Amino acid sequence: MAFWYMRQGPEPEPSRELAEKLHISPFLQDVLWRRNLVQDKDINAYLDARLSGLINPEQWPQIPEAADFIVQSLLAGKKLVVWGDYDVDGTTSTALVLDILQFHGFNALWHIPDRHREGYGINVNGIEKLAEIGCQLLLSVDSGIADVKAITRARELGIDVVVSDHHLPPDPLPPATIFFNPRMGDPEKVPCPHLAGVGVAFFLMAAVNQRLGAITGRLYKMDQVLDLVALGTLADVMRLTGQNRILVRGGLARLTHPLRPGIAALKAVSGMHTNAPVSASQVSFKLAPRINAAGRMRHARLALQLLRSRNFNQSMELAQALDELNTTRRDTEQIILEEARSQAVEHIRTSGKCGLVLYGKQWHPGIIGIVATRIIEEFHVPCIIICDDKDTLKGSGRSIPGFDLYACLSEIPDHLLAFGGHRQAAGVRIMPGYLEAFRKDFQEATRKRLETPGEQIIWLDGVLGFRDAGSDLHLRELALMEPFGPGNTEPVFLSNPVQVLARNTFRSRHDSVELKLRDTVDEHVLQAKGWGMADKIDKDIVGQTIRIAYTLRRENRYGFMGPELTIKDFGPADKELVYQSATGPAPTEDPAEEEGSGDDEEAPI
């Protein structure tokens, strides 16, 4: 069980007159207050989040110069190639650029590296092949910022390179012709430093669109690519604040009523009606994994073809192929996870609770990042999953909130051929003979840096009894806070003491339970689901009085709209709470929360 921290907003508490002025209930006002949203202008901006709030691309540093250069090159007849990446962010970025260029009459070529043969980023062999076919301008999306050797080679071969990326820039930078990366330069002058690769591509191509439109006499409607922006941003687990919140909210509306046959087909194979509303969690757990399966299990070209298809029958064939690849991915993941879990238990038994380095000779290199995420969710320590990769070992690491994985690896480079990444995700490459030495290094380094290994914190947004949880007004108001993700986590409420009346497991998910609960204060009875919690919530819980920490959504059950409760944690009725005051200007985030820690993120090495 986790520590329960109750959010506390700033003093004094807001007046109810403000709630009346903003036409929101005291319930929603209280949730926003606990997240430090107390001024009417801030609350309006947060709840509204309209496309009119997007920053003019010309106000972004680097964009005017980059857009000018791209347009001048196109008008000069230079052959342009878009270099993408094999994850969701990379494929959506590639599709976005190609769609806009094609609209204006430019049929650019594209290249997405094979994950298994080429690896992440721009590579020298790929550059030399592009030079052979006459490439004169290379535009990278969601990659390129760290590829010094490949970009140096491109410039030697006379290829101009525009790097459009969102990853942390290294020192030294590659010798690109021009950059657009919101993480370069003064962060105070950047409207949003936390864009996904597809967000970077969106603003850059919006400026390109304006320039080409002045020549062609017609403008591409940029809201038509917001579906791609939402997919890539959510899959890469970026902060859903500011510009990202506006982009994703607009993109979810596009995904709800898709114009692309490929998106409609993808929703169909994911078990969703074509025009069904799409939430951020449905993108993360239904749509994105199927797109990602192409790059993980075969090649990302399948996903790119799906996103750009204009034929529904072809789209259904592609979507079904991705669905089958995703099923294979899930099966493979489960096998690897079981083996990795057994190793983790043994390592913790013999070495104590420190960072984990787990190895399987035949483990799939496209799956190990997901498995690392599953392991940290269960064991709450940093983890690196390693497999064979040609003549070396390849590892994919994930971290826990508050632990800087990249900084840790920087302290123990002796047995690494290469490593790269950031606070929450990293990649490593090791010579086979040094695995055990690296494991010992990692265990010692994590022991030193982990002050309280395994500590979990649940942030609570107030006490909410079942009578109020069933209020349709409250359910509709919570929906105004979507989309949820890093920087804007889904509210978690603490129940009154509740008596467990019944416990059932699901036919299709034996690892999950549904509890029938009676609120001992207001006497209301509701159901609550505990996904993956069957082992923690055993049959003996029936009859006990507990409290649950839960999320709350409005769901359609048997034709009626009602509350859906999802258990995040549970404990005794007298479990102790910690009260935490809101601090800082970013109220909707948890202090321990990190961005970019999703399964889809590939750390460059």
CA distance 539 to 254: 44
CATH code for the domain of 486: 2.40.50.460
What separation in angstroms does the CA of 323 have from each of 182, 271, 316, 562?
Answer: 34, 11, 10, 30
Which among 333, 401, 407 has a CA at the least distance from the CA of 371? 333
How far, in whole angstroms, is CA 460 from its chain's centroid?
22
Nearest Cα neighbor of 304 from 110, 517, 515, 591 is: 110
Residue 314 located in a structural domain: no
Residue 136 lies in a domain: yes
Do both 66 and 209 map to the same domain?
yes
Assess contact for 470 and 524: CB atoms under 8 A.
Answer: yes
Query: Looking at the structure, do residues 418 and 533 belong to the same domain, yes or no?
Result: no
Residues 204 and 87 in one domain: yes
Q: What is the per-residue pLDDT across 470-520, written as a single tens digit (0 to 9) for each?
A: 999 999 999 999 999 999 999 999 999 999 999 999 877 788 999 999 999
My answer on whether 124 and 156 are in the same domain is yes
Q: Could you tell me if residue 554 is inside a domain?
A: yes
CA–CA gap between residue 378 and residue 401 (Å, rounded): 14
Number of domains in the chain: 3
Residue 312 inside a domain? The answer is no
Is 161 contained in some domain? yes
Residues 164, 141: contact at Cβ < 8 Å? Answer: yes
Q: State which H helix or E strand residue 466 sits in.
A: helix 466-469
In the chain, helix, strand, coil percent, each to 5?
Answer: 40, 20, 40
Same domain, 443 and 466: no
Assess whether 75 and 156 both reside in one domain: yes
- Whether 417 and 540 map to the same domain: the answer is no
Please name which of 168, 212, 215, 194 lies closest in space to residue 67, comparing C-alpha atoms.
212
Is 315:264 a contact under the CB 8 Å cutoff? yes
Same domain, 43 and 86: no
Query: Which residues lie below 8 Å from residue 19, measured CB to CB, with a gap of 6+?
Result: 25, 26, 28, 29
Asked if residues 368 and 396 have their Cβ atoms less than 8 Å apart, the reply is yes
Residues of the chain with confidence (pLDDT) below 50: 453, 584-589, 591-594, 597, 599-604
Rounded to 5°, the CA angle 340-365-305 comes to 130
Which contacts (CB < 8 Å, 24+ apart) does range 431-439 have? 431/392, 431/393, 432/388, 432/391, 432/392, 432/393, 435/357, 435/359, 435/386, 435/393, 438/357, 438/412, 439/357
Residue 597 belongs to a domain: no
SS3 per residue for 322-371? HHHHHHHHHHHHHHHHHHHHHHHHHHHHHHCCCCEEEEECCCCCCCHHHH
How are strands ordered across the β-sheet holding 418-421? 356-360, 383-389, 392-398, 425-430, 418-421
Domain with 483 in it: 3-48+458-581
Are residues 367 and 436 both part of a single domain?
yes
CA distance 349 to 535: 20
For the chain, percent of residues with pLDDT exceeding 70: 94
Measured CA distances, 199 to 174, 182, 238, 526 (Å):
22, 10, 10, 40
* Strands across the sheet containing 178-180: 109-111, 80-83, 137-141, 160-164, 178-180
Q: Quick one: 68 and 123 in the same domain? A: yes
CATH number, position 180: 3.90.1640.30
**Domain finish residue from 167, 198, 221:** 221
We report the CATH number of the domain holding residue 423 as 3.10.310.30
What does pLDDT average to over the chain? 92
Q: Which among 425, 449, 473 is the end of a domain?
A: 449
pLDDT tens figures, 374-419: 999 889 899 999 999 888 999 999 998 888 999 999 999 999 998 8
First to last CA, the chain: 36
- What's the CA gap between 82 and 66, in Å, rounded? 14
Last residue of one domain, picked from the residues 449, 480, 510? 449
> Residue 560's Cα: distance from chain center in Å?
31
Angle at 356 between CA 351 and CA 360, to 5 degrees: 110
Q: Domain for residue 413, yes or no?
A: yes
- Hey, what amino acid is at 514? E
The whole-number pLDDT of residue 299 equals: 96
98 & 198 share domain: yes
Q: What is the DSSP letter of 224?
A: G
Is 67 within the bounds of a domain?
A: yes
What pLDDT was estimated at residue 113?
A: 96
Same domain, 187 and 87: yes
- Tally of helices (H runs) and strands (E runs) in the chain: 20, 19
Q: Which residue has the tokens 């890469």?
A: 236
